[in-house]
Amino acid sequence: MSEVRVRFPPSPTGYLHIGGARTAILNWLYARKYNGKFILRIEDTDAERSTRESIEGILDGLTWLGIDWDEGPYFQTDFADQHIAAAEKMIAEGKAYRCYCTKEELEAKREATLAAKQSLKYDGTCRNLTAEERAAKEAKGLPSVIRFKVPEKDGVVAYEDKVLGRIERRYVDIEDFVIVRSNGKPLYLLSNVVDDIRDRITHIIRGQDHLTNTTRQILLYEALNAQIPVFAHMPLTLDLNKAKISKRSHGEIVAVQFYRAKGFIPWALVNFLVLLGWSPGDDREIFTKEELIEAFTLERINKSHAIFNYRKDDPKFFTDPKAININAHYLRTLPIAEIGDMVKKELQEAHLWDDAYDGEKKQWYLDTLDMIRDRFHTLKDFTTLGRAYFADDFAIEEAALNKNLLKYPELKNWLPMLADRFAALPVFDKDSVEQAARVFAEEIGVKPGIPINASRAVITGLVKGPSMFELFVHMGRDKVMERLRSAGKYFV
Ligand code: GLU
Ligand code: ZN
């Protein structure tokens, strides 16, 4: 078998969309599985809509996700000459022709065929011009487009889609489509094929929104005497109302950048996106890179459209809950050193980073993350919900305040008293702290849970968290005493 060569050819007209990222990921997986090449090609032919920022955003997004490419980025505009040359060659071989029909003429024909309820395709006026007629039009300097001459034959253009099975379309249903505009610019259908031939692409894995292009592109491959690649069309990603997800209707949640800003672990997003359109055939949902490469096959790409389960009206979830759950899974299970590197960036951004976390406080830092990560869903949670571990100015949760603190006004005095007990301990370890807290509760005549939960509230700002006796020791006597002694500020 020849080398597998796949490509991701985004049009740089916006940010990297999660649908685009999914396309890139599936192609990349296929290349990695077969030790092939993954080629990045920027389809910047639409000069008006293509932007530098968009190109940078796409490259950044892929890099952040860990999707590395072997060749490129190539830029389609660098190959415009090849696209035109291919069109000229087809003209010379009688496989394409210049069409001089004006917009007005084409419109009038459309109206007429519509009235007659005939096929709306181009009627082929210029296909049958004699050499003299053609020369006369050229002499007049009439503008022209180049149309592909769809073979006039019975039967169908057909191919075997790796996902959808046999796809066919009757020749008579395909019109002589335009491949070069009157301003001399090639169209996507042509450029894309010429580039794929030059780049020796063996497999084209792309969205079902391109299905109608594929049969026409196969005709171009045939006309250019090139080998037709394998096609695999992926399902679309729809929202709960079965509409395509888009920036216009869903906002920023469709951009890869959004997930980065929300504190996603890149591989967690890759894992989620792969499952949006592919399944392993069993109930596994979490995959390492190696496992995914091993399990991935084109045949297991789903036929039916994927549903992106996002409810704008549920404030608990800022995106598909499954994505959040997968992210939380990685947050809980990745080696703590890896989490440490990722959280470091978050802390730096939030101005909560202390260089000692890379030095003498490294173990404390990693232990902190390990103690608190079980309840978190994103990397951002470490700087928001986990802020009390890294700064003294943290907010207290509403529930912690009302339920664990204000409910017992005497805590205002009790917590500083508890601090005194801690101050008097010869050693500040888990057992002596627990002993002191229990004795203290008994003396003031309340359940130990009352001063303990109140301590949690003033030390972490949260209702729930790691075991309090461990936490006292972890935070250190000084910090614990300081926060217990200043409990009064919550009662004013
Ligand atoms: N530039 C096209 C797009 O972004 C590429 C389609 C293809 O894979 O052929 O949709
Ligand atoms: Zn014409």
**Per-residue pLDDT reduced to its tens digit, 321-369:** 999 999 999 999 999 999 999 999 999 999 999 999 999 999 999 999 9
Q: Assign residue 11 a region (left: φ > 0; alpha: ψ between -120 and 50; beta: otherwise).
A: beta
Identity of the amino acid at 145: V
**Are 23 and 132 in the same domain?**
no
Which residue matches tokens 């180049």?
A: 146
Q: Which residues surround ligand 2, an ion (CB under 5 A)?
A: 99, 101, 125-126
**Are 153 and 274 in the same domain?**
no
**Are 295 and 306 in the same domain?**
yes
Q: State which residues form the domain around 401.
A: 395-492
**Are 297 and 440 in the same domain?**
no
pLDDT at 434 over 80: yes
The verdict on whether 121 is a catalytic residue reads no
The predicted pLDDT at position 110 comes to: 84
- Which pair of tokens denotes residue 176? 């002589």
**Are 96 and 205 in the same domain?**
yes
Question: What global pTM score does this model have?
Answer: 0.94
Q: How far is the CA of 11 from the centre of ligand 1 (A)?
A: 7
**Are 323 and 348 in the same domain?**
no
pLDDT at 123 over 70: yes
**Are 265 and 377 in the same domain?**
no
Chain-wide mean pLDDT for the chain? 95
**Are 133 and 191 in the same domain?**
yes
Closest of 222, 224, 216 to residue 86, by C-alpha: 224
Q: Is 432 in the pocket of ligand 1 (CB under 6 A)?
A: no
pLDDT at 158 over 80: yes
Q: How far is CA 189 from CA 159, 172, 180, 306, in A?
A: 17, 19, 10, 26
Q: Is 327 in the pocket of ligand 1 (CB under 6 A)?
A: no
Q: How far is the CA of 152 from the centre of ligand 2 (A)?
A: 17
**Between 107 and 73, whose confidence is greater?**
73
Q: Which atom from ligand 1 is nearest to the alpha carbon of 213?
A: 9
The string of pLDDT tens digits covering residues 437-466 is 999 999 999 999 999 999 999 999 999 999
**Are 446 and 354 in the same domain?**
no
Q: Please, which pLDDT band fits residue 115 given cuts at 50, 70 and 90?
A: confident
Indicate which residue's Cα is closest to atom 4 of ligand 1: 10
Specify the CATH number for the domain of residue 460.
1.10.10.350
Specify the CATH number for the domain of residue 266.
3.40.50.620
Say how far apart CA 325 and CA 320 lie, in whole Å: 9
Indicate which residue's Cα is closest to atom 3 of ligand 1: 10
Q: Please, which pLDDT band fits residue 317 given cuts at 50, 70 and 90?
A: confident
The predicted pLDDT at position 1 comes to: 63
In the chain, pLDDT over 70 holds for what percent of residues? 100
Say how far apart CA 340 and CA 337 lie, in whole Å: 5
Query: Ligand 1: which of 193, 210, 220 to mutate, most ligand atoms within 8 Å of CB?
Result: 210
Q: Is 192 in the pocket of ligand 1 (CB under 6 A)?
A: yes
Closest of 203, 254, 179, 169 to residue 39, by C-alpha: 203
Q: What is the mean pLDDT of residues 415-444?
A: 97
The string of pLDDT tens digits covering residues 171-226 is 999 999 999 999 999 999 999 999 999 999 999 999 999 999 999 999 999 999 99
Ligand nearest to the CA of 143: 2
Q: How many domains does the chain have?
A: 4
Q: Which atom from ligand 1 is nearest to the alpha carbon of 43?
A: 1
pLDDT at 72 over 70: yes
